[in-house]
Chain A
Amino acid sequence: MTLALYRVDDRLIHGQVVVGWGQPLDCSFIVLVDDEVSGSDWEQDLYRMGVPPTIEVIFASVEQAAAHLADWEADARVGILLVGDVDTAVALANRAPEVKKLNIGGVHHRAGRSERLRFVYLTDDEAAKLKQLAARGVDVTAQDVPTARAVPIGEFT
């Protein structure tokens, strides 16, 4: 199998990911790519507590993820890769040609962002970066849960 989902979600590991996506995908491992969390033992413990023991959680910085992405893609199990923001997704995609699809699963309101979808708020700069990724051939869609429609990038940027 492979990494079945590359997801941008500012909540990182939470119910929608573990249950909403994890169950139908039969996910066996989650790769959490975040420079800060990869260096914080207590935050890693925190995120592990939200995951059943049947699912392995791997923490990686962007650099580490770029170096190991091919291995995770070749893994016999199904996995989910998570990043917390658009900038991290772009940084990873710039280093790793394996990133061919991107699910915008939850980017919430903060200063400077405007509502694009109920669960997607972006700055103009973030929207432009996603469009650039799409122009390079990455399939960028927004979809919070598997039962929802995958919204094409043209409808939310």
Chain B
Amino acid sequence: MSELRGVIVSHAAVAQALVAAVTAITGIEGVLTAVSNEGCGTEALGERLRQAVGQGPAVLFVDLPGGSCFSSSVRYAKQGGGGAELAVVTGVNLAMLLDFVFHRDISPADAARRAVDAGAKAIRVTGAPA
């Protein structure tokens, strides 16, 4: 089985920035690929996903639970993902990606569930008056 990779799918340059941040923090390169929907229709974004995913397996980390990045990612996975084993996570954040790059010896579905857990734990209110 090929090594599990992550593909971040976002509006504008969010994905690119997240990849750079993960590399800056961990020093790990080549595990995450950034895909932007900039200038893309559905067809072009699907092609960008196909190129980024390759043979997989992969987790697609999408910025929003709705919209063109989300619908294209789910559609690509639903239509077979070019033969790659895929899972889709929405609401990508840096915390879940940092956890993901160190825990990739599991299936895409398990990695997706783990990423959601790690990402959610990082969202909290601090420093606000009680």
Chain A residues engaging chain B, CB cutoff 8 angstroms: 10-15, 18, 42-43, 46-47, 49-51, 84, 106-110, 118-119
**Residue in A11, A42, A110 whose Cβ sees the most chain B Cβ within 10 Å:** A11
Chain B, residues 9-45, CB within 8 Å of chain A (1/0): the string is 0010000000000000000000000000001111110
Given contacts A42-B78, A46-B71, A46-B75, contact A11 B41 (CB under 8 A): yes
Which of B59-67, B94-102, B104-112, B119-127 lines the interface with chain A? B59-67
Closest 7 CB pairs of A and B: A50-B66, A108-B41, A10-B41, A11-B68, A14-B67, A14-B68, A15-B67
Contact A10 B42 (CB under 8 A): yes
Taken together as a complex, chains A and B put the C-alpha atoms of A107 and B70 apart, in Å, by 18
**Residue in A13, A15, A107 whose Cβ sees the most chain B Cβ within 10 Å:** A15
| Known interface pairs A11-B67, A13-B66, A18-B67; 14 further A-B residue pairs with C-beta atoms within 8 A, sorted by A's residue number | A11-B42, A11-B71, A13-B71, A14-B68, A18-B66, A49-B65, A49-B66, A50-B64, A50-B65, A50-B67, A50-B70, A108-B40, A108-B44, A110-B43
Residues from chain B with Cβ under 8 Å of A84 in the complex: 42
Question: Using a Cβ cutoff of 8 Å, how many contacts connect chains A and B?
Answer: 57
Contact A47 B39 (CB under 8 A): no
Given contacts A108-B44, A109-B44, A110-B44, contact A46 B74 (CB under 8 A): yes
Q: Which residues from 41 to 87 on chain B have a C-beta closer than 8 Å to any C-beta of chain A?
A: 41-44, 64-68, 70-71, 74-75, 78
Minimal beta-carbon separation of B76 from chain A (angstroms): 12
Residues from chain B with Cβ under 8 Å of A107 in the complex: 41
- Show 17 residue pairs from A and B whose CB-CB distance is below 8 angstroms, ordered by the A residue: A10-B42, A13-B67, A13-B71, A14-B68, A14-B71, A15-B66, A18-B67, A43-B75, A46-B71, A46-B75, A47-B71, A49-B70, A50-B65, A50-B70, A84-B42, A108-B41, A110-B41
